Structure 1
Amino acid sequence: MENKIQHINPNELIKNPAFSQIITTEGNGKTIYIGGQNAVNGNGEIVGKNDVLQQTEQVMKNLN
């Protein structure tokens, strides 16, 4: 079985040619790799400086 690799970079997240936000691989099973996420909004601005709850909420929004 041939492995299938898909790079996913949602428009709402920061673009960087050095990495992908999400990579999925499919072969005998499916694996999803999620890049390290930061508490930044779509404009690249830090959200919730010094507030771990706001930062966590933003990270979860970025993953959604």
Structure 2
Amino acid sequence: MGINTERDIEANLQIGPTTEGMVRLFIQAGDMEIPMDFDPDEAEEIAEEIRAAAQTIRRSR
């Protein structure tokens, strides 16, 4: 499975701060729950990667 492999899976994504000062990405798909915690600097890096990917898509259209 790679980033370009399509899957027919429905998932819910929640993003928010934790009481411990982390940024949590919480993914729920079926019976599976995946909490992913990042310090603020890591969260900023992830946000930049998401923005860069979106810009790449816009340029290719």
Normalised by the length of structure 1, the TM-score is: 0.25
**Structure ranking higher in helix proportion:** 2
TM-score, length-normalised on structure 2? Answer: 0.26
Name the structure where strand makes up a greater proportion of residues. 2
